[in-house]
Structure 1
Amino acid sequence: MDVAGMRERLTATYQLRKEQAQALVDRVPILGRLIRDFVKIEFIDRCMLIAAQGLLALIPMLVVLTAFFPHATSDLVRSFSQASGVGQDGTRLLEGEVTSGQVRTQTGVFGFLITLFSATSFARAIQRMYERIWDQPHVGGLSGAQRCLLWLLGWMLTLQIIGALRRIGDGVGGILGDSVGFVVQAALLSMLWWATSWVLLFGRVPWRALALGAVLTGVLGIVYNRGASFLMPPYVRANAEQFGTLGVILAVSTWLIGFAAIMVGSALVGRIVSEDPTVVRLATRTVDLTRPVWGRLRRRPADGTAPRPRAG
């Protein structure tokens, strides 16, 4: 076996692929910036941090909220379980470990407030992610905690609304119901993440610059959730049979890592694309072309008839 010859061939192949990749990056500058920024923000570490904070903060918060407000948070718990693919079996397994009475007795009102405030760590992890992507200094302290708590409450309310809309869509059924449900949910989630990025960045980045990242997060999030609703239940059942409640938690952590990757990747791609000179020129040219048409439509009379020329 010619080890030296194999090593030379592998080295030559590696150099060739490296040169081809560099040539591609040189031809497409936006691709090079995308790779550099993914490395700069520590993409994998950022995803793991958001997923860990979500697991440590959201699960206890949902358990406590279900114990104190079982009817008010039913849609919230159902939305989270359906999105993560835990399903009814996994939810029953988690709920079977403790009863609502035990949670209320052992937690108390003071413990409930502490749990809710601790859940803001999930929002703070997302805030740091947006600040890192947009090169903004971190805003902490009392103002940062208040803003994160405000976002968390708004996020829970939006999940409630999405859960109610999902029930309406399930009642309609059919392709039409699924299509309308997808569009409505994607629009709501896009607006949610649009507001999320603006709120957690304290308005330091313009709305229009945040739009693309929010739309990507909303649309890809819906696609990811619907895919998880088919793929995750068997995985959850297998983990539950092998590890019990710990298996369900491991499955939820896997889902959270994937969703965190969508959040981070969408926000980063949204910034890079919105700041790319070619994209900016194309958007500006499109606006310039459509502005005269929009102006003529606005000046058009309500009855659709053209204005009569004045008599000379």
Structure 2
Amino acid sequence: MTQALASVMEYAVARIKAVPGGSLILQIVADLARSEIADRAMTLAGQAFTSILPVMILLSAIPGKGVVDDALDGYDLTSTDLAIGPAGVQDAAVTFGLIGAVMTLVSATSFSRALDRMYSRVWDVPRLTMKQSWRWLVVILAVVIGVVIQIVLPSLRDVWSVGAAVDFGVELMLGFALWAVLWFGIAWLLTSGQVNVRCLLVNAAITAAGLSALVVATHVGLSKVVASATAQFGVLGVIFTVISWLFVFSAIVIAATVIVHAMAVEEGIIGRWLNGAGTPDSIGGRLIPEPSTE
């Protein structure tokens, strides 16, 4: 039975390789399977929850009109729904203080460090040193700013108001451009520019496409999921929902990186294009080092 299954698998692999682009598909599937994407996405989601959310709370504590609430209106949510809008925000801002804000930003770099480890493993490049630790802070600030801009975009539809479908399309295009620029910059910072620019550009485009799809899903169902989870589990339901959203967010980022790496190391037209005049080895080692022959 086992031999028969192995024979079927070998035949299927051979057939797939015979199809144009088949070898690349197999490379991508194999790398995704070896990347432990679920474990890594959950780790990143946990780090994001303890890193990005405190910064969002800090933003919601700024005295004045509820900017976060106004932005979340586009998703049929409020900061209270997500448990980041406590009463008396001005008092919260005073309590937070400058020292609290600085400590929040410093501790938030745990998400950036987790991203750094992920890029280092996938692209086989050295991790950032303590002298380069400022990049962790820049990355976390960039992610927070990106999230804030994304949730603000729906409230800006009145600026180009044409029609519901067109307005949503413009929002998605602006969101795509936002995430593409942001993730190109993040990958470039965390890899210290040691990865081919073409690889970073393709990685940014795939990541942005995935996150844009997540934005569509967020518009469609997040408010209903939050309401249902809150009704059943209270605040815990909100926490589960937020972590689940961050898990999908992180999985998209990891999967895009693994896919582009697989494209770059596969010895085909795409791999040669991504590496320019170089060879696939010029962008770093494979996701999983080849077995030693010694």
TM-score normalised to structure 1 length: 0.75
- Is 1:157–2:150 an aligned residue pair? no
8 Å contact kept, 1:90–1:248:
no
- The residue type equivalent to 2:55 in the other structure is M
Are residues 113 and 281 of structure 1, via their aligned partners in 2, closer, same or farther at CA, if it must alter by over 3 Å? closer
What SS does the aligned partner of 1:137 have? coil
- Is 1:217–2:207 an aligned residue pair? yes
Residues 154-193 of structure 1: CA deviation (Å, up to 9, x unaligned): 3333444445543333551333222222222212211111
> Which of residues 108, 115, 120 in structure 2 aligns to 1:126?
115
Are residues 228 and 24 of structure 1, via their aligned partners in 2, closer, same or farther at CA, if it must alter by over 3 Å? farther
What SS does the aligned partner of 2:61 have? helix
8 Å contact kept, 1:211–1:270:
no
Are residues 214 and 228 of structure 1, via their aligned partners in 2, closer, same or farther at CA, if it must alter by over 3 Å? same
Instruction: Report what 1:167 is aligned to.
Output: 155
Aligned-partner Cα distance in 2 for 1:93–1:159: 14
Are residues 230 and 26 of structure 1, via their aligned partners in 2, closer, same or farther at CA, if it must alter by over 3 Å? same
Cα offset for 1:280? Answer: 3.5
- The residue type equivalent to 1:154 in the other structure is A
Instruction: Report what 2:124 is aligned to.
Output: 135
Are residues 78 and 222 of structure 1, via their aligned partners in 2, closer, same or farther at CA, if it must alter by over 3 Å? farther
Instruction: Report what 1:74 is aligned to.
Output: 67
Aligned-partner Cα distance in 2 for 1:91–1:142: 39
Aligned-partner Cα distance in 2 for 1:201–1:69: 37
What SS does the aligned partner of 2:195 have? coil
Structure 1 or 2, whichever has the larger Rg, is 1
- The residue type equivalent to 1:153 in the other structure is L
Cα offset for 1:97? Answer: 4.7
Cα offset for 1:40? Answer: 3.7
Instruction: Report what 1:242 is aligned to.
Output: 232
- The residue type equivalent to 2:14 in the other structure is A
| CA RMSD in angstroms, aligned pairs only | 3.0
Aligned-partner Cα distance in 2 for 1:26–1:175: 41
> Which of residues 23, 28, 33 in structure 1 aligns to 2:14?
23
Aligned-partner Cα distance in 2 for 1:234–1:163: 17
Instruction: Report what 2:39 is aligned to.
Output: 45
Aligned-partner Cα distance in 2 for 1:43–1:32: 17
Aligned-partner Cα distance in 2 for 1:157–1:96: 18
> Which of residues 246, 253, 265 in structure 2 aligns to 1:256?
246
Counterparts of 1:1-312 in structure 2, within 5 Å, are 14-15=5-6, 17-24=8-15, 26-27=17-18, 28-68=22-62, 74=67, 87-88=76-77, 91-92=80-81, 94-95=83-84, 97=86, 99-144=88-133, 146-171=134-159, 172=161, 173-280=163-270, 283=273
What SS does the aligned partner of 1:94 have? coil
Cα offset for 1:70? Answer: 5.4
What SS does the aligned partner of 1:88 have? coil
Are residues 102 and 242 of structure 1, via their aligned partners in 2, closer, same or farther at CA, if it must alter by over 3 Å? farther
Are residues 127 and 98 of structure 1, via their aligned partners in 2, closer, same or farther at CA, if it must alter by over 3 Å? farther
8 Å contact kept, 1:90–1:236:
no
Are residues 282 and 274 of structure 1, via their aligned partners in 2, closer, same or farther at CA, if it must alter by over 3 Å? closer
Structure 2, gaps ≥5 residues long? 275-294
8 Å contact kept, 1:190–1:215:
yes
Cα offset for 1:259? Answer: 1.2
Instruction: Report what 1:288 is aligned to.
Output: none
8 Å contact kept, 1:210–1:271:
no
Q: Which structure: greater helix fraction?
A: 1
